Amino acid sequence: MSGALQKAEEEVVQTIDQTVKNIKSNVNEVKKDVEKNIAEKVDDITKELEKSAKSLEETTDKIGSKIDNTSQAIKSNLEEASLKTEKSVNDAVKSGEKLIGDLASEAKKTFDSAEQKLDAKFSKIGSTADSTLEDVKNGLRHF
């Protein structure tokens, strides 16, 4: 019996060895599958992150471009408004200067005219006074 027992024992050992090898092989295959799946998922996540980063970069560029365009438009509008304001102020100053010149000219004409009229009146008064004085002198001589 010892030969049969030993043979049975060897068969059990072989079966256990084979089962352990099969388990190790299955574990290795599962491990490789898990590693492959993890690698694929990491690749997928990496690709999605790269797409997101590219999209974010494009969006950032678009926003930056819009900000640049908007700030340029604002700057142009401010410059244009500044030039228009400066022109309006210059026009107003010129208009004011002309108005002051016109008013001064009219005032001088009015003053000159009044002065001439006064001179004429005083001359007439002087002539009339002289004439009246002469008449009075002549009238007194008759007395």
pLDDT digits (tens, 9 = 90+) for 8-58: 889 988 999 999 999 999 999 999 999 999 999 999 999 999 999 999 999
Q: Number of H helices and number of E strands within the chain?
A: 1, 0
pLDDT band, very low/low/confident/very high, at 5 (cuts 50, 70, 90)? confident
Is the CA virtual torsion 91, 94, 96, 99 positive or negative?
A: negative
pLDDT of 83 over the 70 cut: yes
pLDDT of 142 over the 70 cut: no
Among 101, 98, 79, 102, smallest CA distance to 90 is for: 98
Question: H helices of the chain, where?
Answer: 2-141
Q: What is the pLDDT of residue 89?
A: 86
Average pLDDT score over residue span 99-126: 84
pLDDT of 143 over the 60 cut: no
* Residue at token pair 């950032």: 60
